[in-house]
Chain A
Amino acid sequence: MTSTLNNDVADTARRLAERPERIWAAFEHAASEGRAAFIPFMTAGYPTPERFPAVALQLLEHADLLEVGLPYSDPLGDGPTIQRASEEAIEHGTSTRATLQAVKALRARTDKPIVVMTYINPVYATGPKEFMRLCVDAGVDGLILPDLPPDEDLGIRFLAAEAGLALTFLIAPTSTPERVRVVTSACTGFVYAVSVTGVTGARDGGALSEVPALIALARAHTDLPVAVGFGVKDAATARIVAVDAGADGVVVGSAFINALKAGDDLGALAAKIVSGCRK
């Protein structure tokens, strides 16, 4: 009996470590090349379900990790760009299962870590356990749930650990030291530092002035990699975050959606941002 339990615990511990390890390796690989990890974001099913795989693969060519957005009707943490992309993706029939099937198809083409960003309601609607099972089956490495503070639902953290999925929670410029402690101690993949008080979307670089203090606060509480997102849109803003503020990773989302709308070359934009990530 005891040995079975021990085996279970060992098994859980092994699975718990597996996927974060791939995430950590991606950050370490970028660091070994003297840059912050580049983490592009794209809404699943955007611009259309047919074109999404090619767009994601193009971003993956430059990426260290890929963040895929599972579209939600009421994305509280997102600005107009990702809101509209989510609405269009849902109109095009991008369901939870469709999103995870698309990730599964990407997984067959890449060994780079893929994290899924969505809101808590689609997770609850599918059932957290089933949702995690679908994620693991699709080859997802981690989850970002921006409207779930880590102390709001301990069950999700338990299930993610059991499934071996890394969880990333967010800290913000308004976070007190105590909140940074609570949030970073709950993260199992990397820490996501929100660069500005606000929602996602491209801004002027001047808005990023609070990032260095936030990263310093995070580092005082965790050894996990700290990625910065919201408001990074080009090489210059990437440099502020990666070089000036010393982030371990840079997340860029809305800028790629805007580039798709404008018909700009995603690869060129990605390459420029990667150059901005070089320390």
Chain B
Amino acid sequence: MQLPTYPLPDARGRYGVFGGRYVPETLIPALDTLRDAYAEAKTDPAFLSSFETLLREYVGRPSRLYLAENLTRHAGGARIYLKREDMNHTGAHKINNCLGQALLAVRMGKKRVVAETGAGQHGVATATAAALLGLECVVYMGREDIRRQALNVFRMKLLGAEVREVTSGTATLKDATNEAIRDWVTNVRGTFYILGSVVGPHPYPAMVRDFQSVIGEETKWQLQAAEGRAVPDAIIACVGGGSNAIGIFAPFAYLPEHQRPQLIGTEAAGQGVDTGFHAASVAGGKVGVLHGSMMYLLHDDEGQIQAAHSISAGLDYPGIGPEHCYYSDHNVARYVPVTDAQALSALQLLARTEGIIAALETAHAIHQAVITARELGEGKVIVVNLSGRGDKDVAEVMRLLGPGLTGPGLTGSELGDQA
């Protein structure tokens, strides 16, 4: 296999004005080394062959491109395909990137990896890759997320990782990321930081994108086989930091405009973008710097980062990757807000029509898929990145809907509990 080469970022790690390396000087030499090591690995047949073998034999790739006929019928419009990243080992797209970075860590002679996690999917995937490759693993996770995702916490422990609780700030993904970066600053000489999304300082957004772009590359030939065309009319994915979305967008994003499908990212609108309780960085944020990168960001007039709110821990992040920011500014992709209630409803819809329980994150994309399928109409084709499975969310969904599905669903007070 080959890893793709894209026109962005530029040599300074910028996507237009976005991206960059806003980090303490201690990390700059490590980022230089990482950039060079990754550039070398990217063209090394031995590295690429290891990565390809793991994706095939261990992750179970290629993931299926499944025509969701019942959902298509329900929507009454374009044919809806689901790219089944939920069928990957560990249940989400996260493993693609973790194996790539863990292989790079081994190649660079690092014995210890650290990671941040929100929903726990990236933490589990990192712990998995670390177990497989014999690396010591520490995962930082916010206290609030540890409560919401107890099962994933235990999974990480079973896999031999140490989970460190983060209580600073909002005690969610943002703060876990701060803490992982601080660990890396402190232990930079022997530690590799496995970042889980297309955020952070250069080269992380590019590297994570490249490892995840296998999703979009597979989609091309799978859709060619199924529909006789490699490019659908629309592609939809949920966006927190944006790694599953960039994985399926990037292989199509640099096509000439007339060949490019509609690329639609769904941001978590929480209780609504106007309520202040949301995680919609494009719709409700403005340009700023967080975690080493310039991006659309939820922050106040003083530049203090604001708490993000979403029913899904994985989207509960106040920023969005710099390449998505570039896509948004240049009309390559558009980003639409989807509320907690809409996502919860879409989760149930997919479960009942297709027998697939998606992650709450992914459910945001399902909601938009129905809307876009109707807008495009029959004869058109859309692909939804089914980024993760819902096992981790079942307890939380039961809490919201009630064990007999007779609960109040989403009310203001329920969301207040989460906030």
Decide if B304 touches A90 in the complex (CB within 8 Å). yes
Segment with Cβ contacts to B, from A74-82, A104-112, A132-140, A258-266: A74-82
B178 at the interface (CB under 8 A from A): yes
Segment with Cβ contacts to B, from A24-32, A36-44, A171-179: A171-179
Decide if B303 touches A83 in the complex (CB within 8 Å). no
A209 at the interface (CB under 8 A from B): no
Give the residue among A87, A120, A169 with the most B Cβ atoms within 10 A.
A120
Alpha-carbon distance between A171 and B182 when the two chains are bound, in angstroms:
16
Closest to B29 in A: A174
From B27, B188, B290, B302, contact of A126 by CB (8 A)? B302
Closest to A75 in B: B178
Closest to B294 in A: A124
Encode B26-67 as 1/0 by CB contact (under 8 A) with A: 111110000000000000000000000000000000000000
Decide if B20 touches A121 in the complex (CB within 8 Å). no
Query: Given A125-B288, A199-B185, does the pair A183, B302 have CB atoms closer than 8 Å?
Result: no
List, in ascending order, chain B residues with CB within 8 A of A84's CB.
168
Total contacts A-B at CB 8 Å: 114
B21 at the interface (CB under 8 A from A): yes
Decide if A170 touches B185 in the complex (CB within 8 Å). no
Alpha-carbon distance between A172 and B185 when the two chains are bound, in angstroms:
10
B23 at the interface (CB under 8 A from A): yes
List, in ascending order, chain A residues with CB within 8 A of B22's CB.
120, 147-149, 152
List, in ascending order, chain A residues with CB within 8 A of B189's CB.
174, 197
Decide if B28 touches A122 in the complex (CB within 8 Å). no
Q: Would you list which residues of chain B between 288 and 315 have a CB under 8 Å from chain A? A: 288-292, 297, 299-305
Decide if A125 touches B299 in the complex (CB within 8 Å). yes
Number of interface residues of A (CB under 8 A): 40
A194 at the interface (CB under 8 A from B): yes
Q: In the complex, what's the smallest C-beta–C-beta distance from B114 to chain A, in angstroms?
A: 14
Chain B interface helix/strand/loop/mixed: mixed
A34 at the interface (CB under 8 A from B): no
Encode B7-32 as 1/0 by CB contact (under 8 A) with A: 00000000000001111111111100
Alpha-carbon distance between A126 and B289 when the two chains are bound, in angstroms:
13
Q: In the complex, what's the smallest C-beta–C-beta distance from A77 to chain B, in angstroms?
A: 5
Closest to B27 in A: A174
Decide if B169 touches A147 in the complex (CB within 8 Å). no
A72 at the interface (CB under 8 A from B): yes
Query: Given A73-B169, A183-B25, does the pair A174, B305 have CB atoms closer than 8 Å?
Result: no
Alpha-carbon distance between A183 and B28 when the two chains are bound, in angstroms:
11
Number of interface residues of B (CB under 8 A): 37
B357 at the interface (CB under 8 A from A): no
Q: Would you list which residues of chain B between 149 and 198 have a CB under 8 Å from chain A? A: 168-169, 174-175, 178, 181-182, 185-189
Decide if A172 touches B26 in the complex (CB within 8 Å). yes
Decide if B169 touches A170 in the complex (CB within 8 Å). no
A96 at the interface (CB under 8 A from B): yes
List, in ascending order, chain B residues with CB within 8 A of A229's CB.
none
A123 at the interface (CB under 8 A from B): yes
Decide if B24 touches A87 in the complex (CB within 8 Å). no
Alpha-carbon distance between A204 and B168 when the two chains are bound, in angstroms:
24
Alpha-carbon distance between A95 and B27 when the two chains are bound, in angstroms:
29
Q: In the complex, what's the smallest C-beta–C-beta distance from B271 to chain A, in angstroms?
A: 22
Query: Given A197-B189, A199-B182, does the pair A122, B303 have CB atoms closer than 8 Å?
Result: yes
A146 at the interface (CB under 8 A from B): yes
Decide if B303 touches A72 in the complex (CB within 8 Å). yes
Decide if B302 touches A76 in the complex (CB within 8 Å). no
Encode B329-343 as 1/0 by CB contact (under 8 A) with A: 000000000000000
From B27, B168, B302, contact of A96 by CB (8 A)? B302
Alpha-carbon distance between A4 and B290 when the two chains are bound, in angstroms:
41
List, in ascending order, chain A residues with CB within 8 A of B291's CB.
76
Alpha-carbon distance between A96 and B304 when the two chains are bound, in angstroms:
10
Alpha-carbon distance between A80 and B167 when the two chains are bound, in angstroms:
10
Residues of A within 8 A of B (CB): 72-74, 76-77, 79-80, 83-84, 87, 90, 95-96, 119-126, 146-149, 152, 169-176, 179, 183, 194, 197-199
7 inter-chain pairs at a CB distance below 8 angstroms, sorted by A residue, are A76-B24, A83-B168, A121-B289, A121-B303, A125-B288, A174-B189, A175-B25
Residues of B within 8 A of A (CB): 20-30, 168-169, 174-175, 178, 181-182, 185-189, 287-292, 297, 299-305
Known: A74-B174, A198-B186. 9 other contacts (CB 8 A): A73-B169, A96-B303, A121-B289, A121-B299, A125-B302, A125-B303, A126-B302, A171-B25, A197-B187
